[in-house]
Chains A and B, each alone.
Chain A
Amino acid sequence: MMNLRDIRTHIPDDKPGRIFLFIALISISSVILIFTFLFGTASPVLLKEGAGFITGTEWNYHTGEYGILLLLIGSLVLTAVTMAIALPLSLFTAIFLAEWSPRWLAGILRPPIEMLVGIPSVVYGIFGFFILENIFQYYVDPFIDSTLGFIWIFKDVNPSSGISILLAATVLSIMILPTVTALSQEALETVPRDYRHASLALGATKWETIKKIILPAAMPGIITAFILGLMRAIGETMAIVMLMGNCLHFPTSILDTGYAMTSKILNDIGYWVSFDEPKSALFAIGVAIFVMEFIFVALARLIGYRFSIDRRE
Chain B
Amino acid sequence: MNFRNAEEKIFCAVSCLAAAFAIAILSYIIFTIFTAALPSLSLEFITTAESDFPGVGGAIANAITGTIIISICATLIATPFAIGTAIYLQKYARESLFTKTVRFLIEVLSGTPSIVIGIFGLLILVYYLRDITGGFSLISGSIALSILTMPVIERAAEDAIVAVPKSIEGGSYALGANKWQTIRNITLPTAISGITTGIILGFGRAAEESAVVILTAGYTQFMPEFAIKSTDKLVSGFKVYPLQDLVGTLPYSVYHGYENSNIIPMSDAFAAAFVLIAIVLGINTIVKVILWRYKIEV
Contacts and interface: CB of A to CB of B under 8 A. Distances in A.
Given A23-B81, A130-B36, A279 B277 contact: no
A100 B12 contact: yes
Given A24-B85, A123-B276, A113 B112 contact: no
Contacts of A21: 88, 92-93
Contacts of B118: 237, 266
A12 B89 CA distance: 11
A46 interface: no
A57 interface: no
A60 to B, nearest CB: 20
B84 A23 contact: yes
Contact of A126 (B98, B178, B184, B273): B273
By size class, the interface of chain A is 35 or more
Interface in A86-119: 88-93, 95-97, 99-101, 109, 112-113, 115-119
A238 interface: yes
Given A130-B36, A207-B12, A279-B123, A237 B211 contact: yes
A291 to B, nearest CB: 11
B269 A130 contact: yes
Nearest to B117: A34
Interface string A19-32: 11101101110111
A44 B128 CA distance: 18
A91 to B, nearest CB: 8
B111 interface: yes
Interface in A263-296: 265-266, 269-270, 273-274, 279, 282-283, 286, 289-290, 293
Contacts of A10: 93-94, 96, 98
Contacts of A297: 111
B246 to A, nearest CB: 14
A20 B84 contact: yes
B115 A237 contact: yes
A93 B22 CA distance: 7
A24 B179 contact: no
Interface in A111-136: 112-113, 115-127, 129-131
The residue among A27, A117, A231 with the most chain B CB atoms within 10 A of its own CB is: A27
State the main secondary structure of chain A at its contact with B.
helix
B255 interface: yes
B84 to A, nearest CB: 3
A14 interface: yes
A37 interface: yes
A206 interface: yes
Interface stretch (B13-21, B49-57, B228-236): B13-21
B195 interface: no
Contact of B119 (A124, A208, A282): A282
B287 to A, nearest CB: 10
A222 B25 CA distance: 22
Contacts of A31: 105-106, 108-109
B32 interface: yes
A26 B266 CA distance: 45
A41 interface: yes
B19 A34 contact: no
Contacts of B127: 273-274
B180 A14 contact: yes
B270 A126 contact: yes
Interface in B56-80: 80
A282 B5 CA distance: 56
A235 B25 contact: no
A236 B211 CA distance: 9
A265 B119 contact: yes
A273 B137 CA distance: 17
The residue among A26, A89, A118, A297 with the most chain B CB atoms within 10 A of its own CB is: A118
A122 B123 contact: no
B273 to A, nearest CB: 4
A284 to B, nearest CB: 11
23 contacts: A9-B96, A16-B183, A19-B84, A20-B88, A23-B85, A24-B88, A24-B93, A28-B85, A88-B18, A89-B22, A92-B18, A96-B16, A100-B12, A118-B204, A119-B208, A120-B209, A126-B254, A130-B36, A177-B26, A207-B7, A237-B211, A266-B118, A270-B215
Interface of A: 6, 9-10, 12, 14-17, 19-21, 23-24, 26-28, 30-32, 34-35, 37-38, 41, 88-93, 95-97, 99-101, 109, 112-113, 115-127, 129-131, 174, 177-178, 181, 205-208, 210-211, 231, 234-238, 242, 262, 265-266, 269-270, 273-274, 279, 282-283, 286, 289-290, 293, 297
Q: Which 10 A/B pairs are nearest by Cβ-Cβ distance?
A: A235-B113, A23-B84, A92-B18, A120-B208, A96-B15, A96-B19, A20-B88, A122-B210, A24-B88, A123-B273
